[in-house]
Structures are given as C-alpha cells and as structure tokens.
Amino acid sequence: MDVLQTWITVGVPGLVIVGGLFVGRSRLRAWIGYAVLLALIVTFALIPGGGFSAALIGLLAVVFVATGRGTHLDARYNEHHEERGSFTTADRG
C-alpha cells in the first residue's frame, strides 16, 4: 500500500476515532486516544514515504498533550454542566 491508500483506509477513520475520544475531559478516553494516535504514527512510519504523515500525527499528539488532555489538569476542569450553581437564582446566603 502507498501513503494515499493508507490515509484512506487507516488514517482518516483513525483520526475520526481520535476526535471522538478527545471530546470532553475524560482521562480514560484521552489515554485510549493517545494509544490510537501512537498506532497511527507507527503505521505511517512503517509505510515507505509516510514519515511526513507520521510527523503530522505526532504533532497532533503534542498539541493534545500541551492542552492537558489526559493529565492532572483534566481532574480540575469543570464542564459547563458541572457549574450549575452559577446559573441559578437561589440565594446562597
């Protein structure tokens, strides 16, 4: 297989799965997403001429790590539905 066929059969579906795994702030899903990204990097690194594609996917992994996905920062992050107290008119007095 060449690089284009690998992107069509493995790369695009893999990135769609990764995109779904990184929605929200779940640590478990983030770690599974990192495993899928690693599998994609290895796949493209083994394809002749796929080094640039592997580097692009690796850059995506670096961006996710830099934003704190799957790290201790996720434990401190509150989703909008978890902060319901700020949207109520009840007296907290």
pLDDT of residue 66: 87
pLDDT in tens, the chain (93 residues): 899 999 999 999 999 999 999 887 788 888 999 999 999 999 999 999 999 999 999 999 999 888 877 776 666 666 655 566 655 566 555
CB atoms within 10 A of CB 74: 15
Phi-psi region of 78 (alpha: psi -120 to 50; beta: other; left: phi over 0): beta
Asked whether 3 and 49 are in contact (CB, 8 A), the reply is yes
Q: Which amino acid is at 33?
A: G
Q: What is the DSSP string of 29-70?
A: HHHHHHHHHHHHHHHHHHSTT-HHHHHHHHHHHHHHHHTTTT
Question: Rounded to an integer, what distance in angstroms lies between the CA atom of residue 40 and that of residue 44?
Answer: 6
Q: Name the residue ranges covered by the structural domains of the chain.
A: 3-74
